[in-house]
Structure formats: structure tokens, C-alpha cells
Structure 1
Amino acid sequence: MKRCVWVTKEQLYIDYHDKEWGVPVYDDQRLFEMLCLEGAQAGLSWWTILQKRENYRLAFDHFEAEKIVQYTDEKVQSLLSDSGIVRNRLKIQSVITNAKSYLKMKELHGSFSNYIWNFVENKPIINHWATKEDVPATTELSDRMSKQLKKDGFKFVGSTICYSFMQAVGMVNDHTLECFCHPSNNFVDTKNI
């Protein structure tokens, strides 16, 4: 079974690739979690964050924005001493800031999913890349999304982070053509993660 060449032999990475990456996500809380995790990845590898994902869920109350917006300075200090996450004050603070913006967008658009999926007109973009070198790090769409998210108060949402986020939550399917997960290979996973 052929996979995208970036997948390592680590089972956690294989499972992430096979069951999550590129699969459309419409659940508000999962979308918020992935946006925060992609922001945490800035300057690091996704593998680093993926290994810490369960720790992040515990540290940030399973990404329940309503709880996160209540975080005090004491909570921030405890997060800064948590070795299970990336201990970067700006990244930790961005989750709190993003929780506020997330709740605002949820209120304005009926759901965060409505807000975020509107960038791709509510339909996943299926690309047909032959090699991983063909896959862009940013696009005009990720530039636009980044600009709008920043305008709406989000942090750690540069164009590269936005494009990685879109790939992760299935707004964009960038599995290469030879990968068994590419839609042209008749792989269908209706599980909404």
C-alpha cells in the first residue's frame, strides 16, 4: 500500500496520515484544536506536535474554548512549566486569544465550521499532485485566509500555517496521486474526525 512519501514508519504518523490528514472535519471543537496545534507547530515539525497532541488536549481542557477564555495568569504559568507541550509564552497566549476569536466567529456565523469552510465555498479542494515537491507551502487561498483570520483577531495564522491547517482538516486534499488515500484511488473514509 503506497502512502505519501512524507509518512515515516512510526505508527502514530501512519495512523494520522491514513485516518485524519485530508479527511474533511466539520466539528467546531476539532477544527479549533487543529488550528491551535498548527499554530504550535510554527518553527517546529508536525511530528513534534503530533507526539504531544494528547498532552495538549489535557493541558488545554480538550480545547473547550469556553474554558480557555477563562484562563488566568496562574494557569498560563502552569502551562509554561508543562513539559508535555511547547513551552512558548506567545504560542500559549495565542490559544487563549484564538479561543476568544473562535467564540466570536462561532456566534457571528452560526458555527466555526461555517466560518472556516466558507473559504473553500464549503467543498474540499482535491488536488492532483504527482510528487511531494509539487505540493505548495502556501497558495493565494491560504494568503487570503491568513489575512482574514488575522483581521478577525487570530494569532499564529500565517499563510503556511493556514495551508497546513487546510490540509489537515480536509479543506484541501493534498495526498499525492500514488497514495492510496487520494480520492482517485477509490479510498473512501466517511468517518468525520
Structure 2
Amino acid sequence: MKLLHSLDQVSKLINSGKKMRDSIPIGFISGLMGTIVMDLSNLMFKKTGISEKTYAQFAGSVLMRPSRLLLKENRILGQILHLITGSIIGIPLFAVLKKTGKDNYLFKGAIYGTFTWELLYSFGLRYNVFRSKAHSTSTHITTLIDNLVYGFVSSATIIFLTDHAVLPKGSDKQLETQMEGEMPKVNDNGIGDSFYNYEDEVRLH
């Protein structure tokens, strides 16, 4: 019920034209959107025979043997685990865009998607985190494409949901930093020297 209430609030914000400021919900929702589109891409590759596995199978195999994933309820559990993981991974992406600015956000999303592919998929297979194995090169390539899609959609959703004041452009951030650096600083030593010089003048008179 709380999740439905949160989604209802997000829907109202979008319909009213208002933008969000809280980084955690923005990152989570954006990661969820990216994961959903990523799964659609994966299902398309699976149905055409290009990819061997779905992400529900990969994620479910972390908790159980591949043979148990033949049951529908176990695949659903794997899908839920995958959605939660993808949603949480969207939160660091928000931090990246906030730090670097929203310029070239699709490119940054693609880099982030490639990073998640290497971190979760490649290392997951290499170190036997997943009990379900992928053997074909086409599966490896399609999972990379899926993660690029995740990065594109998640970063675009972050830009769409976030208030400009929270997520300025990189050029704006550089301008602010430059202006802060050019602000005149008060020299305490200079004030002290002037004070002592004034005392000396008073004594001479």
C-alpha cells in the first residue's frame, strides 16, 4: 500500500508539472524504469533466440538452483529481485549526475550501464554468483545492449523528474565554482598591519 501511495504521489507531481528534489526516490524510480525497459529488451532477445536467459533466471539463480526456476513462482521471485536490484542501482546514478551535471546525460548513462554490466553480469558469471550460466557470445552482447538501455532510460528519467535547482548543468556548476574562486578574500594580516600603522602615526603626533 505504501508503494502504491508513493507511486500515486509521483503521478500527481508529474501531472502538476512539479519536479522532485529528494535524491533517493528519484534514483529508485529512475532505476525501476530503466530495469523495466531493460527487461523488455531482454525478453525480445530471448524470444528471438538471440539470448539464452532472462534476468529473472539470472537473479533467481543467486538464491536457488536453476532447476527450481522451472517453477513460475520461483521465476517471479527472481524477477522481483532483479527489479529491486536495478532500482537501487539507480540511486548512485543520480549522485553521478548531480556531481558532474546533467550535460550529456545519455552518454553518462551509457557509461554507467556499461559499468553495471561489467560489475554485475561479467563478475557474476566469472565468480559463480549466478548458478545459471550463459555460454553464447550473442547472450553476452545482448546483455551489454540491455545494460546500455538501462543507462539511457534511467538517466533520462532522472533528468525528467529532477528539479533544475537540484541538478544543474555542468557548465553552471563550473561557473559557480569559478565565481567562488574569484571572490575577494579579506586579508586578516593586512587589517592588523593597518591597525598597527595607525597606532604608530598617533604616537608620532
| Band of TM-score, shorter chain | 0.3 to 0.5
Larger Rg: 2
Structure with more helix by fraction? 2
Task: Give the TM-score, by structure 1 length.
Answer: 0.36
